[in-house]
Amino acid sequence: MTLKISFSKMARDEMRRLSWLTAVQLLVFGLLIPFRVLIVMASMSSDARYNIVYTHQDMLEEFCRHVGFNCFENTLIILAAGILCAYCAFRYLYSPAKLDFYHSIPVKREKLLAVKLTASFGTFAVAYLFSQAAAVAVGAVFDAVNGRVILEMLVSSLRGLLYFLCSYSGALLAMMLTGKMLTAVLATATLGLYLPMLYLLSAAFQESFMSTALTSANGWSRSELLHYTSPWALCVFYKGGRMGLTGAWPIPQELLLTAAVTVLFFTLSLILYRIRRTEASGSALAFRKLESVVKLLMTVPVALVAATVAYELYHSVFWEILFLVIFSALGCMIMEFIYRWDIRQVLTHKRHILLTTVLAGAIFFGMRYDLAGFNTYLPEKNQIAAMSVKSRWREDIIYRWQEEDGEVVTSGISTELLDYLETEDFGPIYRLAQDGVEREKPGRENPEYEELTSIGLKYRLKNGKEVYRCYWVACDLYEDVMNQLMKNQDYMERFYPIMTWTEEEVSGLNVWFYQSEELFPDLAMDEDGGSIEDLIMDENGNSIEVPRDRTLELVEAYREDLRTLSYTEVWDSYSICCFDKNGDRYGVYPLSNGMKNTKKLLREIAKNSI
């Protein structure tokens, strides 16, 4: 009982000491939340003087635009408050006199940390929750609040408290690792920006050196990893769920992950605080053994960035080496100056410059010359279980299918689509892979004016490994391979989703086609010499809409043409046929001159439309 009273008394005393911080946060959040709502609501009420009357629903919608889940600016201020409170509560770590005083008190460090955390969290909670409640009160005065809005405000408030603690934990960990306020600020920035910097560097490396890497907008991509690069990124790039009145509800899994990261960072901070020596105050880093590691982690990426810039500007090994050496040395010297704060000691550890240069050079030139064989990777045929291929540009078909976690919709090239088009009869596709890999070999020059196309390709190996690549291959070879694959009925039905549309799906479609002189030369000119496009116009441009009662007939005719024509004959076209259902695009399919059944029907429809 004595321990409990002692703790609460210490927390109250600390909150009184930080009362100025409470006042500052009250001012900031008061202006940000309730005062903003008051201004907006009062402005709408004053419009009554001009005979503009807003309904309850209008007031509610306007209120919801400025509170709750939809306020990104509130999240940024909350994260900033977390960093500020951590700095204010634990700034004594950087003063030897204050640190000696606190550590001389007969209180364990765990308890001291908990007191500081509780007090600084209390300053934020008082200001933030008061502002949220005041905003609800303002909304109630203007009849812009209901029970659902109050619930969302409550949940958003709890989320705000969690975001504060998450930001606080990141700043606290940075402070425990450092012995000066300046390096604490730099460490906090590093925790938030280091992994995104590596992401940008990896993207630059991929763009410059990994020419066969397949980037997918629909699959797991590096950009999605940015969401998990720091405690602050978790909060800023949170993924919302279903929509509410004030914005998207938070996903429970995301909140649990944020809470787990917060607990992890607080635990690490506590461990570091327990082993942190009092003498660390005044040093750049609280743990001297980390200096070399931190220096290399900072200087190697800097040297890689410099070498990549030299590669893009000059494409010369001489300049790449020069930039790499210069920026390796500069990076190490700047880090040494931050550590010692003495310019005379910037060359104290010359071996770090050498080590940085060697590591950065090994990584850069290893990527530049593809020493790992990434671009020329080609597994043996007997190692492959299945393959798939898809052109990046030639086929503009919308694919959709059901999976356990919902419907997948994709086009172009994506990992999901390559998975969907996978076939065990991969002999023809392997020829494409051989051609693509051959073009990636050093010194290979493509014949002048050779027509190439970009393809996405997947290997599924017998050991379960899945590899995705992107190659440039000859267009005529690609068409030859696709002609062979289309002889497989199952593959053709998966490649052309229209082949498996049900009668119910077809009956609900809106269909129109863009005709051209190549498709209907006999309809290209009207009797006055104008083109048919001048006669048929709608919001979609120059198009002719197919009557709903003839949609099934058109689809059947198109299916019959797909069964009889080769891939080359199908895609030898500049005209297209579009299918959609209530604005939800089902696909864009080619209309070629070889489609006799489809052309006959569309010609009849076009004549009736004039």
Q: What is the pLDDT of residues 579-597, one digit of tens each?
A: 887 667 677 888 888 888 9
Single-letter code of the amino acid located at 41 = M
| Tokens of residue 538, six digits | 């709608």
Tell me the Cα Rg of the chain.
Answer: 32
8 Å CB contact between 103 and 95: no
- Taking the C-alpha atoms of residue 40 and residue 66, their distance in angstroms, rounded to an integer, is 9
In this prediction, residues 159-188 reach a mean pLDDT of 95
Single-letter code of the amino acid located at 228 = Y
In this structure, the number of other CB atoms found within 10 A of the CB of residue 238 comes to 21
| Tokens of residue 527, six digits | 């009797």
* Top-confidence range, 22-36, 490-504, 591-605: 22-36
8 Å CB contact between 453 and 392: yes
* pLDDT on residue 64: 87
Poorest-pLDDT segment among 43-52, 82-91, 514-523, 525-534? 525-534
- Taking the C-alpha atoms of residue 532 and residue 610, their distance in angstroms, rounded to an integer, is 8
Domain boundaries in the chain?
2-193+241-279, 288-368, 381-495, 499-609
Query: Does residue 217 have a pLDDT over 60?
Result: no
Cα 450–451–452 angle (5° rounding)? 110
Sheet with 510-514, side-by-side order of all strands: 544-546, 510-514, 575-581, 584-591
* pLDDT on residue 446: 67
Query: Does residue 333 have a pLDDT over 90?
Result: yes
- Taking the C-alpha atoms of residue 323 and residue 441, their distance in angstroms, rounded to an integer, is 27
Kindly report, residue by residue over 251-285, the tens digit of the pLDDT.
Answer: 999 999 999 999 999 999 999 999 988 888 888 99
Query: What percent of the chain is modeled with pLDDT above 70?
Result: 87
Poorest-pLDDT segment among 213-217, 342-346, 472-476? 213-217
Kindly report, residue by residue over 400-413, the tens digit of the pLDDT.
Answer: 665 555 566 676 78
Burial class of residue 399, CB neighbours in 10 A (0-12, 13-18, 19+): buried
Query: Does residue 65 have a pLDDT over 60?
Result: yes
In this prediction, residues 458-473 reach a mean pLDDT of 94
In this structure, the number of other CB atoms found within 10 A of the CB of residue 365 comes to 15
In this prediction, residues 153-175 reach a mean pLDDT of 96
Nearest CA-CA partner of 142 in 61, 72, 68: 61
In this prediction, residues 195-220 reach a mean pLDDT of 80
Q: How large is the greatest C-alpha to C-alpha distance in the chain, in angstroms?
A: 103
Alpha-carbon distance values, 569 to 564, 591, 605 (Å):
10, 10, 23
Alpha-carbon distance values, 600 to 557, 576, 591 (Å):
9, 15, 12
Query: What percent of the chain is modeled with pLDDT above 90?
Result: 51
Q: What is the pTM of this model?
A: 0.79
The per-residue DSSP string of 570-608 comes to HT--SEEEEEEETTEEEEEEEE-TT-HHHHHHHHHHHHH
On average, the pLDDT of the chain sits at 86
Residue 260 CA from chain centroid, whole number: 21
Nearest CA-CA partner of 212 in 457, 559, 484: 457
* pLDDT on residue 413: 81
Query: Does residue 127 have a pLDDT over 90?
Result: yes
* pLDDT on residue 386: 95
* pLDDT on residue 42: 85
Which region, left, alpha or beta, applies to residue 529 given φ > 0 means left and ψ of -120 to 50 means alpha? left
Query: Does residue 226 have a pLDDT over 90?
Result: no
Three-state SS at 558: helix
Nearest CA-CA partner of 334 in 281, 295, 284, 280: 295
| Tokens of residue 449, six digits | 């004016």
In this prediction, residues 167-187 reach a mean pLDDT of 94
Strands annotated E in 415-477: 452-461, 466-474
8 Å CB contact between 356 and 303: yes
406: which DSSP letter?
A: E
Kindly report, residue by residue over 411-444, the tens digit of the pLDDT.
Answer: 678 888 899 899 999 999 999 999 999 999 887 7
Q: What H or E segment, with its residue span, contains residue 492? A: helix 489-495
Kindly report, residue by residue over 534-577, the tens digit of the pLDDT.
Answer: 333 333 345 778 888 888 999 999 999 999 999 999 888 767 78
Query: Does residue 54 have a pLDDT over 90?
Result: no
Following CA atoms 445, 450, 451, 453 in sequence, which dihedral angle do they give, to the nearest 10 degrees? -20
Poorest-pLDDT segment among 185-189, 430-434, 501-505, 514-518? 514-518
8 Å CB contact between 142 and 41: yes
For the chain, the straight-line distance linking the first and the last C-alpha, in angstroms and rounded, comes to 92
* pLDDT on residue 592: 85
Place of tokens 């991969």: 426
- Taking the C-alpha atoms of residue 362 and residue 251, their distance in angstroms, rounded to an integer, is 43
Nearest CA-CA partner of 507 in 582, 606, 399, 436: 582
Query: Does residue 165 have a pLDDT over 80?
Result: yes
* pLDDT on residue 542: 55
* pLDDT on residue 599: 85
Kindly report, residue by residue over 231-240, the tens digit of the pLDDT.
Answer: 999 999 887 7
The per-residue DSSP string of 8-61 comes to HHHHHHHHHHTHHHHHHHHHHHHHHTHHHHHHHHHHHHHGGGGT----HHHHHH
Full 3-state SS string of 211-273: CCECCCCCCCCHHHHHHHCCHHHHHHCCCEEEECCCCEEECHHHHHHHHHHHHHHHHHHHHHH
8 Å CB contact between 261 and 231: yes
* pLDDT on residue 104: 83
8 Å CB contact between 7 and 114: yes
Nearest CA-CA partner of 179 in 59, 90, 102: 90
Query: Does residue 526 have a pLDDT over 50?
Result: no
Contacts of residue 321, Cβ cutoff 8 Å, sequence gap at least 6: 307, 361
- Taking the C-alpha atoms of residue 492 and residue 501, their distance in angstroms, rounded to an integer, is 13
- Taking the C-alpha atoms of residue 266 and residue 166, their distance in angstroms, rounded to an integer, is 9
